[in-house]
Amino acid sequence: MRPGAAGRLTFCKEFLKHPRQIGSIIPSSRFLERRIVDAARIHSAKTIVELGPGIGGTTRAILHAAPSNARLLCIEVNPYLHALVQRIEDDRLIAHLGDCRGLQEILSLYRLGSPDIVISGIPFSTMSIAAGSQILGEIFSVLAPGGVFVAYQVSKRVASLCWPLLGREQMELELFNIPPMRVYRWEKNFNYS
């Protein structure tokens, strides 16, 4: 079930209050959600991390595609959006309120191992290069060998920040979203570990 009108209104209000924290004024479309899930290849994942779940539309799509024994850790910095994600009824979901910096500690807090997949909707284009590099360094350090990192973004900045860690990206453009989004995908090659 997709988030309702009240959730979309909360998302819009929070974007207006914190435009540098939230990547879009409108939540992800179902087309974007599908493209993210396809890029991540969730069907065999055991541990999944979602950074910036917003109102939970992508979260629901991930849970729908994930195996019954998977765990999904969602990290949301905005308390109003976190409250919406927390309402999703699924035993596989862990909703964490906080900043995604310190990712290893957050995983340890919930006794989760290295994630097979990290999906990020946080806007790398509105944060400093230093902050973006720090977050991506943490993602790289916790991601399991052969693990997948997917970022859906308006801008290309995440690709240049990821280059030193994960190399060349795969990218698809989802036009059926407002605004259109780039869906980037990297796999942590065993040679990088």
Q: What is the pLDDT of residues 74-132, one digit of tens each?
A: 999 999 899 999 999 999 999 999 999 999 999 999 999 999 999 999 999 989 999 99
Domains present along the chain, CATH in parentheses: 15-192 (3.40.50.150)
Q: Helices (H), strands (E): how many in the chain?
A: 7, 7
Structure tokens at 58: 């992508």
Confidence of residue 26 (pLDDT cuts 50, 70, 90): low
pTM confidence score: 0.88
Write the burial class of residue 73 (CB in 10 Å: 0-12 exposed, 13-18 middle, 19+ buried): buried
DSSP 8-state symbol, 126: G
Per the structure block, which two tokens stand in for 4?
A: 């309702």
In which band, very low, low, confident or very high, does the pLDDT at 174 lie, cut at 50, 70 and 90?
very high
Q: Of all helices (H) and strands (E), which one includes residue 57?
A: helix 57-65
Reply yes or no: is the peptide bond before residue 164 cis, omega within 30 of 0: no
Residue 190 has pLDDT above 70, yes or no: no
